[in-house]
Amino acid sequence: MQPLLSIVVPCFNEEEMIPIFYDYLENIPLPLNREYIFVNDGSKDNSLQQMKQLKQLDPSHVHYVSFSRNFGKEAGIYAGLQYAAGDFVVLMDVDLQDPPELLPEMFNILTTTDYDCVGTRRLTREGEPPIRSFFSKKFYQVINKISQTEIVDGARDYRMMTRQMVDAILQMTEYNRFSKGIFSWVGFNTKYLPYNNIERKAGETSWSFWQLLLYALDGITSFSTVPLTLSSVLGFILFILAIVLGIFFLIRTLLFGNPTSGWTSLIVIILFVSGSQLFFLGILGKYLSHIYLESKKRPLFIVKESDIRNKDRH
């Protein structure tokens, strides 16, 4: 009996791409059975209807899960992995920027070597706005310096994993999720396949620069406490600096008089110190917000409808 491959596909407003994606994947030869797990993340267009049409055309292999509202891609990834029943599970974006041609090679590596996961990484970012590419590169440089969890530069969510690795990821039930970090944190042997950037076949991306920036901040605060350490170090430095400046201004006043001079430097110091305090209070607030959301124990997502009755099929 051939093993089963679950293809997990989170979707948000992707009515144009869903049928294109399915037709494209069906033409990729794979020596194993496959199932599609389309996750509708509260789309406002006809994405769910497209999924249902594919279900009618291919009821044995196409499945869908539809959220009650938009919960975000991270929730879509977790839900897809939870509903996937395959011996192997692949996570893909529906826009076909993740080259399906790599799937046979991924499967071959997992079945002929001791690797538990085959991920992908982009060598180029052609087609992206230069500012987005710049900040993406800087993000990987920063997070790999301040976090003990290594995240490969250019790594994509697109990857094929063994059942064992998927089960380990599902044990990570935190509310504030950063999948790229989670994939690395759980361990397991991972091989990365490089490829050049591919532009999406249709539709437009739903990720804005601001959303990507917030996502990067979540990644940093989820896998590093260095910002908290930096705030403590800077606070100590400012404390010492304040003492040194206080002594300096006292001596200058005693020696040269004119105590009203220096108001400009005083204002600068006040603005610098208060600005630093507000900045690091924001960092502390970010960590506290993570604790606050985790303490609520809210579900990562709520399913409105699905053709899969039992999400623990494996």
CA distance 107 to 85: 16
- The residues of the chain scoring below 70 in pLDDT are 124-154, 197-236, 238-243, 245-246, 248-250, 252-268, 271-272, 274-276, 278-279, 282-283, 285-286, 289-290, 292-293, 310-314
Torsion angle, alpha carbons of 13, 81, 295, 217, to 10: -60
The answer to whether 149 and 225 have CB atoms below 8 angstroms apart is no
The pLDDT value given to residue 195? 84
Q: Are 175 and 188 in contact (CB under 8 A)?
A: no
Q: Position 14: which residue type? A: E
Which amino acid belongs to residue 248?
Answer: F
How far apart, in Å, are the Cα atoms of 202 and each of 62, 85, 97? Answer: 21, 29, 10
pLDDT, residue 161, reads 92
8 A C-beta contact, residue 82 and residue 299: no
Which of 82, 155, 84 lies closest to 118 in space, CA to CA?
155
